[in-house]
Structure formats: C-alpha cells, structure tokens
C-alpha cells in the first residue's frame, strides 16, 4: 500500500477555507469529527416561508450553505498478485500470458521524477463520466419480465391504511404565477428528473393500473410533476409528505399524491444526495422495539456505494415510523471500503505546486488532477450530478471548450475541411454498422392529455374503468393483443450522427439508419468518387456481420476497407479515421474488436445536455460530500472484503468477512464490487453466485483506460483550447491497411489541458484501446519519454526534456478495480446489464456495470446506488401500500372550494367547526377577490415565451428541401423518409450552413427575443402597478368588511391548529428556486 498523501479541504459555498496539516488517517478523522461537531456541516435550516414575495419565478440555483469536508488519499496497487490475475476473458488481446503480463507492475515501472509519480495505480472512470438522457420513463421495456411483474399487482390491492392530512388543497401551488407558467416549470422539472412529463413511468403504470383510469392519468401526472418541481426548487431540503400532498387541487386526490410521494421517494427521484430530509420522528413511548435494528452492509465507497448508503440512511429516517410499527429500531448502514480513501475510481491526486506557476484566481484552492473519472458530460435533462454538484454542494466547476485541434504526426494542424470530411465518413460507417444492433421493443406508453398538462389543468373527466380493466377487456376479445403489447409507444431507431471528441461518445438521434447508398452518400458529403464508380454503388456488410466472431471492430474495419473502393483514401485519411476509432475505444476502455456488434451503444439516447464540465479542485469532493453531509456515514476504511456469505432467501442472514479479521453480521448486503474484481474472483461468495449471474459477469466486457499526467513549470501549449489530438502512425507510415493501425492509434492520441481545474500547468494524455493495456507493463520512464516526444513533434524545443512531475495510472493493476469500466462484450445479450443488477436473495448489486441506461459512467454508478437502496427498502417494508379505493368517488366527499360547502342534500350532520370556519374564509376571500377584480380587473398575465431559436426557424424554412434530400439515392426497402429522418438532415444542413446562410434566421430569432423582452418589461411594470392597487383596495375592503369568526367554536388542540395552517414550502421562498429554463 502506498504512503497516504492527504489533504483536507473545506468548501463553504464553493470557497476554500484552507488546508489542514497532513497526518495519519486516524488523526485526520478526529479532526473531521471536531469540525463536524462544531460547524454547520450539512445542517441546512428550514427556509422561512414568504407569501407572495416576488412575482418572478426564475430564481438562481441555490448555493449550499453547508460545508463539505473533503479528504484525499492515495490509491492501492496490488503488486504481488497481479502477475497471476487474469481480469477478463472478454478483452484478451493476444493470449492468456499477454493478459497476465498486462496486469503486472514491475518495480522498474516506478518513476524517479518525484514523490507524486505514481507506482502502478490510480482509479479510472470513464471521462464520459457523465452521459446521456431521454426521459427514462420510456426506456423500460415491457418484456416477459415486465409481464411477470404484473403478477405482483394483486398484492398492491391490499387495502393500505388511509392517511389523514391536515393540509389544504393547492397549498404547494404558487399563486403569484400563471397556470401556464406553473405548468411549464412542472414539465421542466419532470424532464430534469429523467421522467416523461406526459406519460407514466413503467413502475408507475404497474403500481397504478388497478387504481386509476386513463382519464385520471392527467391529474396524477400534474401532481407528480408538481412534487418534482418542489424538490428541484431547493434540493438542499427534502420535500415533506404534507408539501407533496399540497400539490393536489382536490382533497379526493390527497391519497394519490401521498402514494406518488412514496414512489418518487423510494425510487430516488426526490430527497436524494446531501439533502436535509424531514426530521425523523422520535420513537413513540408506547411502542415496543423488541427486535434489534437490522444491519445493511454496503461493500465499496465509490459513487455507487456512497450513493446507496446515503440514500438508505435518508430513507430509514423518513420511514422511521414504519419500522417502529414493526417493533424495531430503524436499520443501521455500514460501508466497507478496502482503500484508505473514498471515491473508488474517482480519484483526485494531489499535486505539488511549489515549482509551478499558479493561476491567480486559484489562490487558496487545492491543486489536484483527475486520475479516474473526470468529465461531467452535461448537467441538463436529468443528470443527478446537477443536484449534487450545483444544487447541494455548490462545488466550483469549469466548462470545457469544445474546439479541438488535431495535429498530424508531422506536428502540423490537420486541414479542418479534410478533418470534417473524414469524420463524416467515419460516422457513416458507424451508421451502417448500427443496422445490426439489438432491436429494442417499444415501451409501454400510458399518456395523459398533453394540452391539459401544458396548461396546468386537471382532467374534468375521470372515467369509470381502471387501466387494468380496459386492458383486460381488450385482451379478452378475439385476436386481440395481450396486455404487454397494448398501448406501446412508437418504435424508435437511434442512428449515430456525430461523435463527442471530449469523451468519444457517439451521439445518436431518432431516424432510419443507412437509408442512402454508400456512393451517393459519399458524394453528398463532399467526396469525389473514384473513376468508374457511379452513385448506385453500395457497401455489403452482411457477410462480415454474420460471421461467428463478428464484433463492432471487425465489421467497421470491413466498412472502411470497402469505402476504399468508392473514394480515394490517403494515409492521412486513415490516420484521421483511426483517431476517431481511438476516441471510441477511449469511451469503452477497450479495443473495438472486443465490443459487441449488437450492443456496443446500448445506452444510446440517454445523453445529458449542456456543456461538458470538470470540478475545480477535485471530483473527489463529490464522494466526500456524500459521505459526510448531512451527517457522517459509518464508513470503515482499509476493510478489504474477502468473503460474502448470503442467503438465497431475502429474509435470511448474511455475513461479510474482511482480510483484517473483522466479521460483520448483516441482514442485507449491497455489493458495489467492480466488475473487474468480480471477474478476477478475489472475493468469495458463499454459496457461489448462481450460474445465470456468473454467466453475465463473464459476458460483460471490462477494459482499461490509463493516463499519463505531466506537470510543468509553465505552459508551452495553446492555452486557448482545452483539448487537442494527435494522429498516430503505424510502423509503416503510409499504410492503407486498417489492421496495422490497431496497436498505436490510442497512444497519447488525445490531450487535455487541465490547468484551469488543477491551478498549475498540467497536461493529461490518454492511453486508450490496446495502449491502455500496454501501459500496465511498461515502465514509467519509457511512457513519459514517449509522451514527451509526442508533444515535441508539435511544440518542438518549447517542451522541456522532463516534466516537473509525472503520474502514470495503472487501473488494471489496482486490486480494488482491476480495470476502468464496463463495456458490451462480444457475447453480450440484450438484457445483461439488467441481469447484472438483479439481486440474489439478500445480496444486492450496484455499480456502473449494473445500469443499462448509463453504464461506465460516474452518474450511472450513483443512479445504480439509488436503485439498489430502493430494492433493499422494498425487501424490508414491502411494496407501497395503496388505499382502496385510491380516489374517493366524487359524490362521497366535497372537493376543492365547492367541496368544502357540502350540498344540503348530502349533509347528514351539522358541519364541523373546522369546515364551517374554512367555508366562511373561502367565501370571504371569493367576495373580496370579485370586488377587487370588478374595479381593477385581473392581474396581467406574464407573456408566453417565444421560440427564439435560429435552428428551429431554419428547420421550418428548409423542411421540404431536407425531405427531398432524404428521398434522393435512398436504398430499396428503407421506406419513405419519416419526420426523424428529415430532422437529422436539417440538423446536418444547419451545421454545414455558412454564417451568411445562418444570419437571417439568427437575426429573426434575436428580433423575437427582443420583442419578448420588451413585453416582459412592460408586464413587470403593469404587474407591479396592479399589485400596489390590489394592496390598497384590499386594505379598504378589510376595513369595511371585517372577517368575523368568533361565533364559530374551534375545539381543536393547539397542535392541530398549527398544522392546519398553510404549509411553509421552500418552493415559494424567495431566492430558492432553480431556473428550470437555463
């Protein structure tokens, strides 16, 4: 184990408070505890409620008022055991011996440059460390497993205890914005939570199908979206059940809102991360806790493990009453971590900055570099890191500039036009290969009324038959579809259209793949066809795709080779093409000849939106924040697990044994052990994992991405760009054979200038594909020398002979990782990621290798932890109990304002003092409102936003042109072009349009925005004047018509009176709302 290099950092509202003296881990832990005890760490007080404080709803993202304590230690390398430790059969490059050697860490590999030069070590996570998204509600497939889960539905019909809510309808709906604006915020909140605002998530459908009708879906979605809006308005404080119920506009929907709250809470859509959750109730004096509290052991303190443990800790607080009702204390959570630090494959290595120029704006911050996961690929459209990094921890971050210069092997920049031309050809090859991907079945799509949801209105019609009744009746008809195949969404094929150079991730859009013949497409791209080749010439990849050993790489290589027959490709073109291949191998941490032809981009369509960013001062702030805020988790470091004994039954006992002799008895175990370690077999399971689990461990791929990090005294490179690439040559510089580029293309092919994140001049080079594996067995000095020569080929003598410090990561040699991240192995099956996530008895699984929508990513690891926490809670408390009937019929109780005044024909007893008092207040408010409106009219409505987007205007104007292009040169059997095909073409036309072609649309968009801003400014003035008149007339009205309530006897207790008041919700507190439009 390497000597710990430790630094403690306090971040308060994104500012560094200062370093803490280095010491051993125990001393630092005591120091942290003293700060936690004395400071405001993660103690976020309730925000004072302010009624109608401001009419604008666009408020800045709240900054965390808590301090996040962060500590960094070195990673561990297994030097002795790596020689005989094969990692995976799936990515063997040459032979068994080659693989074994690739994980060796010879002593000569240690560099003598400085203390910071790493011996083989450093946790790596994909720099695609943050990926994609389309609403996840439409992602879950209705397969046999989904149909099987429907058999559990009857258990949900068990009549759950109906709660009593002392809350008024609409209490959590702001009154100072228009219904349209409120609806807009709710829709944006759902989209920012990975949910479709207009349709039920698959789990919502399974939960509610026996309880609500199709017509009632609209009202449910309005409530659900409103609860999500409450959460995202201020994610530092958890949403309470009462606040959630206040999103219902009718008392009859209170139970629905409560059930929805339970689902969002259990599923990790609200109240996750470092939020201060509603205070746990104290143990009732009368309750007996005869049973001791259960224990959950989480193995691993990476993002998955910490995310799971923090979520479990939060859920146990919020469901404390349920555990007390079972006669036991809320469960305990113990996290076991083999390293002496947190973060797993997120590792921010400390840097010595004494000899380097420091950025002035970086003064006081910690100098570090990311050896593992590093890039957040967009905060928008549902990335949970948006809440963690920006909404809760308020960590500073830097937005990467996307412009990338590619340098040829001679050190000169590649002609940009040629670069774009080759990139188009590469993307077309990917598009044609995507014809052989797994064909996913469309998802169940139970939608609400879009128009009503857009307007913020509930459905006036409720229907009489539940969704289940309608589906079962339809399935009973002759030749009818089974339930699992009813109400499916449209089948959407995703086509690769571009590649993200910062992460190597392919961006896909809906459309039809390879609709045009290859020669015709090449000519449209701008290529000149070879002599004798007409536009009907096409590629034929079927034979290569049907081969028994077909992989993505083998078919791609065949496509590139066949394109040589259509256009003249030079050696530079091949170098450019293989730079893009290396970038793809970087995103998968493995040679693309080891990727499944059918499943290599199984997560397509789940990309996030927004700029790529990196956390300033260290990504490791995030895991430390999770471990310490709002309270410190029970994390036991240097506790390497060697054996996990579990029960095949969920209610059985479990035991976890560590190498240090410590044994922990548990009721449930959550394994976030990396896939590479599972493949290696260093952790024993008793009984052995079932065959179906062992098979999926074998089939999934797992690779290595390594980094060469060089620290300099001053920058000699172009600091106006954050990324630059270098084309690598094979042994024969002018080769036109694709196979000869395999071993060299990923060697220092891409460089990141991370000075803005580290605070001193630092370059970070990537070793991808075969190069990543080769790094494991190559000495540091040789690797640094090679990297220096690559830089010298570009910048010449400006590059020093030696950097001040160098760090080489070796993730394959790290005994706690055994590699970087998962990939789609050649033998992968469509549901392997889902199978990997399935629990075995009381043993649960989380990690980036257990999430199909976001594998191999930091945020995917975190989301898998939330999912595992939900599974553990359900195993302990059972499914959500739903009252029957869930929605009380209209004629059995009054609703909203009119419901509070019961019809005389229905009244069988005098109204209670509470209802009589509320009825009088409602009538008084209505009369006051009508009087004021009759004098000054209604409050001016905020103008609706305009589509001030130049691309949208361009696409509308060029729709027909794009459609005609789709029809030209179309391959037979591909059908007529659909809207998605046209949209892809208009997108490409826009990207290729000159500044002169774009200018009219940009001017038009700017004019629309100017017009909107003028209307908005006038509205603000009119609204302010109206508010002043309203206040004046209201005062006069109250003087002339005082409200008298003394004649109504109130027999409630003081506590009941306090609870009956308006719920104080941070969603309506000034300055607490996230701008959902940004």
pLDDT > 90 fraction of the chain, expressed in percent and rounded = 55
Distance CA 197, CA 890 (A): 26
Give all strands of the β-sheet with 376-377 in edge-to-edge order.
Answer: 376-377, 612-615, 397-399
Distance CA 489, CA 15 (A): 47
Distance CA 837, CA 764 (A): 34
pLDDT tens digits along 658-677 = 999 999 999 999 999 999 99
Q: Residue 283 has what pLDDT? A: 66
* Mean pLDDT value across residues 794-800: 96
pLDDT tens digits along 735-760 = 999 999 999 999 999 999 999 999 99
pLDDT value at 1069 more than 60: no
Q: Residue 959 has what pLDDT? A: 83
pLDDT > 70 fraction of the chain, expressed in percent and rounded = 77
Q: Residue 71 has what pLDDT? A: 33
Calculate the average pLDDT of the chain: 80
Q: Which of 345-359, 430-444, 709-723 has the highest mean pLDDT?
A: 709-723
Distance CA 848, CA 839 (A): 15
Distance CA 692, CA 686 (A): 16
* Mean pLDDT value across residues 638-648: 97
* Mean pLDDT value across residues 59-82: 38
Element (H, E) at 320: helix 320-325
- In the CATH scheme, what is the code of domain 136-281+443-488? 1.10.10.10
pLDDT value at 902 more than 60: no
Residue 12 CA to its chain's centroid (Å): 25
pLDDT value at 1071 more than 70: no
pLDDT value at 149 more than 70: no
Distance CA 232, CA 270 (A): 8
Is there a contact between 343 and 302 (Cβ–Cβ < 8 Å)?
yes
The neighbouring-strand residues paired with 665 are 655
pLDDT tens digits along 309-357 = 999 999 999 999 999 999 999 999 999 999 999 999 999 999 988 877 7
pLDDT value at 958 more than 50: yes
| CA distances to 38, 588, 740 from 549, in Å | 62, 19, 20
CB within 8 A of 904, min separation 6: which ones?
Answer: none
Is there a contact between 882 and 263 (Cβ–Cβ < 8 Å)?
no
975 — pLDDT class (breaks 50, 70, 90):
low
231 — pLDDT class (breaks 50, 70, 90):
very high
Residues constituting the chain: 1078
pLDDT tens digits along 1022-1053 = 888 988 888 888 888 888 888 887 666 555 44
Q: Residue 910 has what pLDDT? A: 54
Q: Backbone dihedral region of 364: left (phi > 0), alpha (psi from -120 to 50 degrees) or beta? A: left
**C-beta neighbour count of 735 within 10 angstroms:** 15
24 — pLDDT class (breaks 50, 70, 90):
very low
DSSP 762: E
84 — pLDDT class (breaks 50, 70, 90):
very low
By mean pLDDT, which of 792-806, 903-917, 984-998 is the weakest? Answer: 903-917
Hey, CA dihedral for 829, 835, 840, 843, is it positive or negative? positive
228 — pLDDT class (breaks 50, 70, 90):
very high
Where are any strands of DSSP class E within 66-126?
Answer: 67-72
Is there a contact between 559 and 539 (Cβ–Cβ < 8 Å)?
yes
Q: Residue 717 has what pLDDT? A: 96
Distance CA 813, CA 778 (A): 12
931 or 683: which carries more pLDDT confidence? 683
Q: Residue 972 has what pLDDT? A: 64
CB within 8 A of 300, min separation 6: which ones?
Answer: 335, 336, 337, 344, 671, 672, 673, 674, 847
pLDDT value at 419 more than 50: yes
pTM above 0.85, yes or no: no
Instruction: Give the residue ranges of DSSP H helices in 434-498.
Output: 450-455, 467-475
Element (H, E) at 295: strand 295-299
The neighbouring-strand residues paired with 64 are none
Of 678, 503, 672, 677, nearest to 603 (Cα)?
Answer: 503
Q: Residue 974 has what pLDDT? A: 64
DSSP 823: E
Q: Residue 1076 has what pLDDT? A: 30
pLDDT value at 360 more than 70: no
Q: If you search the block for the tokens 């459908």, which residue do you land on?
A: 205
462 — pLDDT class (breaks 50, 70, 90):
confident
pLDDT tens digits along 261-308 = 999 999 999 999 999 998 766 666 666 666 789 999 999 999 999 999
Q: Residue 423 has what pLDDT? A: 94
């Amino acid at each position: 184990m390497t000597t710990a290099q430790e630094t403690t950092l306090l971040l308060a509202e994104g500012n560094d408070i200062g370093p803490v003296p280095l010491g051993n881990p125990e001393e630092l832990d005591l120091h942290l505890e003293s700060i936690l005890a004395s400071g405001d760490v993660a103690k976020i007080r309730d925000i004072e409620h302010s009624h109608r404080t401001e009419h604008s709803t666009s408020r800045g993202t709240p900054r965390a008022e808590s301090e996040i304590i962060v500590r960094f230690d070195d990673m561990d390398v297994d030097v002795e055991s790596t020689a005989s430790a094969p990692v995976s059969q799936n990515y063997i490059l040459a032979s068994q011996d080659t693989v074994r050697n690739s994980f060796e860490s010879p002593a000569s590999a240690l560099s003598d440059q400085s203390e910071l030069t790493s011996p083989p070590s450093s946790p790596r996570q994909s720099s695609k460390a943050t990926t994609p998204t389309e609403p996840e509600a439409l992602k879950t497939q209705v397969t046999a497993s989904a149909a099987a889960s429907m058999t559990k539905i009857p258990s949900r019909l068990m009549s759950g205890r109906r709660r009593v809510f002392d809350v008024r309808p609409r209490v959590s709906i702001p009154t100072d914005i228009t219904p349209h604006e409120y609806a807009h915020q709710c829709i944006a909140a759902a989209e920012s939570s990975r949910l479709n605002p207009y349709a039920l998530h698959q789990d919502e459908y399974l939960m509610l199908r026996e309880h609500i009708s199709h017509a009632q879906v609209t009202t449910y979605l309005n409530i659900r979206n409103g609860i999500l809006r409450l959460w995202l308005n201020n994610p530092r404080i958890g949403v309470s059940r009462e606040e959630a119920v206040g999103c219902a506009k009718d008392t009859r929907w209170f139970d629905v809102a409560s059930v929805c709250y339970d689902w969002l809470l259990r599923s990790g859509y609200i109240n996750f991360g470092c939020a201060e959750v509603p205070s746990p109730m104290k143990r009732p004096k009368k309750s007996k806790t005869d049973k001791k509290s259960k224990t959950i052991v989480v193995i691993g303190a990476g993002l998955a493990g910490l995310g799971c443990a923090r979520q479990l800790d939060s859920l146990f607080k919020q469901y404390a009453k349920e555990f007390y009702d079972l006669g036991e204390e809320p469960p305990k959570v113990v996290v076991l971590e083999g390293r002496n630090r947190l973060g797993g494959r997120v590792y921010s290595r400390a840097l010595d900055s004494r000899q380097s120029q420091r950025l002035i704006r970086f003064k006081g911050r910690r100098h570090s570099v990311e050896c593992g996961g590093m890039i957040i690929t967009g905060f928008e459209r549902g990335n949970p890191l948006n809440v963690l990094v920006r909404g809760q921890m308020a960590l500073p971050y830097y937005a990467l500039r996307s412009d990338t210069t590619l340098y040829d092997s001679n050190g000169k920049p590649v002609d940009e036009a040629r670069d774009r031309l080759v990139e188009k050809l590469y993307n077309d090859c990917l598009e044609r290969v995507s014809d052989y991907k797994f064909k996913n079945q469309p998802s169940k799509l139970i939608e609400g009324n879009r128009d009503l949801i857009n307007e913020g209105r509930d459905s006036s019609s409720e229907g009489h038959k539940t969704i289940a009744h309608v589906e079962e009746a339809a399935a009973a008809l002759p030749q009818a579809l089974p339930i699992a195949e009813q109400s499916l969404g449209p089948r959407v094929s995703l086509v690769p259209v571009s590649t993200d150079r910062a992460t190597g991730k392919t961006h896909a859009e809906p459309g039809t793949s390879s609709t045009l013949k290859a020669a015709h497409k090449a000519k449209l791209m701008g290529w000149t066809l070879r002599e004798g080749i007409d536009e009907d010439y096409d590629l034929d990849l079927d034979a290569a795709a049907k081969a028994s050993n077909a992989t993505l790489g083998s078919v791609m290589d065949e496509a590139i080779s066949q394109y040589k027959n259509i256009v003249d490709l030079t050696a530079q073109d091949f170098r450019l093409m293989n730079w893009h291949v290396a970038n793809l191998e970087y995103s998968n941490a493995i040679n693309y000849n080891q990727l499944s032809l059918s499943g290599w981009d199984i997560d397509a369509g789940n990309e996030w939106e927004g700029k790529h960013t990196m956390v300033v001062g260290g990504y490791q702030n995030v895991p430390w924040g999770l471990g310490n805020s709002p309270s410190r988790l029970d994390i036991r470091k240097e506790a390497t697990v060697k054996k996990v004994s579990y029960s095949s039954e969920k209610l059985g006992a479990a035991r976890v044994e560590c190498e240090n002799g410590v044994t922990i008895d548990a009721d449930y175990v959550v394994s976030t052990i990396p896939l590479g370690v599972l493949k290696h077999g260093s952790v024993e399971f008793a009984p052995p994992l079932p065959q179906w689990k062992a098979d999926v461990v074998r089939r999934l791929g797992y690779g290595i991405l390594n980094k060469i990090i060089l620290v300099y005294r001053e920058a000699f490179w172009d600091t106006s760009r954050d990324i630059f690439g270098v084309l690598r040559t094979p042994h024969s510089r002018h080769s036109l054979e694709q196979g000869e580029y395999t071993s060299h293309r990923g060697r220092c092919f891409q460089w990141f200038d991370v000075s803005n994140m580290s605070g001193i001049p630092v370059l970070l080079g990537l070793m991808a594909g075969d190069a990543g594996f080769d790094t494991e067995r190559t000495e540091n000095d040789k690797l640094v020398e090679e990297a220096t020569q690559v830089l010298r080929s570009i910048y010449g003598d400006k590059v020093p002979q030696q950097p001040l410090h160098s760090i080489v990561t070796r993730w394959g040699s790290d005994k706690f990782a055994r590699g970087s991240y998962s990939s789609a192995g050649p033998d992968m099956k469509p549901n392997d990621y889902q199978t990997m996530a399935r629990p075995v008895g009381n043993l649960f699984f989380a990690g980036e290798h257990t999430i199909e929508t976001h594998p191999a990513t930091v945020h995917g690891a975190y989301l898998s932890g939330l999912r595992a926490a939900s599974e553990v809670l359900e195993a302990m408390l059972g499914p959500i109990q739903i009252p029957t009937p869930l929605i009380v019929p209209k004629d059995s109780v009054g609703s909203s304002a009119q419901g509070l005044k019961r019809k005389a024909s229905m009244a069988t007893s005098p109204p209670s003092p509470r209802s009589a008092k509320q009825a009088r207040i409602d009538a008084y408010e209505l009369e006051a409102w009508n009087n004021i409106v009759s004098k000054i009219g209604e409050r001016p409505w905020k103008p609706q936003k305009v589509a001030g987007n130049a691309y949208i205007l361009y696409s509308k104007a060029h729709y027909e042109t794009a459609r005609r292009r789709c029809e030209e040169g179309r391959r037979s059997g591909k059908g007529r072009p659909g809207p998605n095909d046209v949209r892809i073409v208009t997108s490409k036309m826009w990207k290729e349009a000159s500044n002169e072609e774009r200018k009219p649309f940009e001017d038009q968009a700017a004019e629309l925005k100017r017009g909107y801003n003028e209307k908005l400014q006038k509205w603000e003035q009119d609204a302010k004047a109206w508010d002043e008149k309203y206040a004046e007339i209201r005062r006069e009205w109250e003087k002339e018509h005082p409200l008298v309530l003394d004649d109504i006897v109130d027999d409630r207790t003081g506590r009941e009176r306090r609870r009956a008041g308006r719920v104080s919700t941070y969603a309506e507190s000034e300055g607490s709302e996230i701008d959902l439009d940004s």
